Copies of this chain bind each other. A is one copy, B any other.
């Protein structure tokens, strides 16, 4: 009767406010303990424990024990992409939400699991593509020869990255900008490099990435925007 994989199981897991809140918190990228996640969702410890067990069973999160603590993190980049896709859809239909002061900051630059998202993330992605450092094809993204040079020049150790299994480049649809940004190990490496250069730092307890004035200036120089006539043709077709 129903064709294809069972969607409803996964959707139902995300469909509970408490669990969704925990997942949203984990989108900050750092692993959190059961207690922290319980506080984040505004529920008690026993309840949180049950929720987390179900999320783990569904393959959405992965545990890591450390002494008396049990840390949870998103299971994979794919989960983060799925959550962003959901946010992207919900952002359009939602009734504006409370337009708190944090929302603009979130739109501008935030961490998406482990890489840079928001307008700055999109700008970086576009700039890399426009200058021929990154090539989109199929689902994959390819780093070109020139791209290798740029990345290395940016202070990223490519050799170390090549070793691991998960995809080097991955594009990730952004819920705020409704455009792609760069994920995968390379996306992570870029964010780390940006933090290492002290251009920006993550705000504790939030997904916001705060750029310093000087950092913003350097970022704009490093990732110049693509030419306007290019962008205009891309959007609508």
Given contacts A11-B12, A12-B15, A137 and B230 within 8 Å (CB-CB): yes
A residues 66-123 in Cβ contact with B at 8 Å: 78-79, 81-83, 85-94, 97, 102, 106, 110, 122
Decide: A106 and B139 in contact? CB cutoff 8 A: no
Decide: B24 and A19 in contact? CB cutoff 8 A: no
CB distance from A19 to the nearest CB of B (A): 7
Q: Is A42 an interface residue (CB 8 A)?
A: yes
Decide: B86 and A82 in contact? CB cutoff 8 A: yes
Q: In the complex this chain forms, how many copies of it are found?
A: 2
CB distance from A197 to the nearest CB of B (A): 23
Given contacts A143-B237, A186-B237, A5 and B91 within 8 Å (CB-CB): yes
Distance, CA A13 to CA B15, complexed state (A): 7
Decide: B12 and A24 in contact? CB cutoff 8 A: no
Decide: B142 and A137 in contact? CB cutoff 8 A: no
Decide: A19 and B15 in contact? CB cutoff 8 A: no
Segment among A29-37, A44-52, A165-173 that sits at the interface with chain B:
A165-173
Counting contact residues on chain A (CB < 8 A from B), the size range is 35 or more
Decide: A234 and B140 in contact? CB cutoff 8 A: yes
Q: Which residues of chain B come closer than 8 Å to A92, judged between CB atoms?
A: 59, 78
Q: Which residues of chain B come closer than 8 Å to A178, judged between CB atoms?
A: 139
Decide: B143 and A137 in contact? CB cutoff 8 A: no
A residues 108-166 in Cβ contact with B at 8 Å: 110, 122, 125-126, 129-130, 136-143, 162
Q: List 30 A-B contacts (CB under 8 A).
A: A1-B21, A1-B40, A2-B20, A3-B24, A4-B106, A4-B207, A6-B97, A7-B14, A9-B90, A10-B89, A10-B93, A11-B11, A11-B12, A11-B14, A11-B15, A11-B86, A12-B12, A82-B85, A82-B86, A85-B85, A129-B138, A136-B137, A137-B234, A138-B179, A139-B178, A140-B237, A141-B237, A162-B237, A167-B237, A186-B237
